[in-house]
Amino acid sequence: MEIPIHERHVVIEKAWNIMKEKEVDPLTAITIAEEEIENQKKKDKLGEKNYD
């Protein structure tokens, strides 16, 4: 998945939190973060916006 430059900081922040919570390696955390963001974008397109 190609992340636009203006969104990369979001992936990095999310990956950092995942690394701390789940104690996984950085590449795994980045993959999980990218998948979560992609899933959230799909939900947003369907009108299920989540503003945590």
Domains of the chain: which residue ranges? 8-41
pLDDT at 47: 72
**Taking the C-alpha atoms of 39, 37, 47 and 51 in order, what is their torsion angle to the nearest 10 degrees?**
130
Average pLDDT, the chain: 85
Mean pLDDT, residues 13-20 taken together: 94
pLDDT at residue number 51: 53
Residue in 50, 51, 6, 8 with CA at minimum distance from that of residue 33: 8
Residues 11 and 33 sit within 8 Å (Cβ to Cβ): yes
Mean pLDDT along residues 18-32: 94
What integer is the mean pLDDT of 22-41? Answer: 92
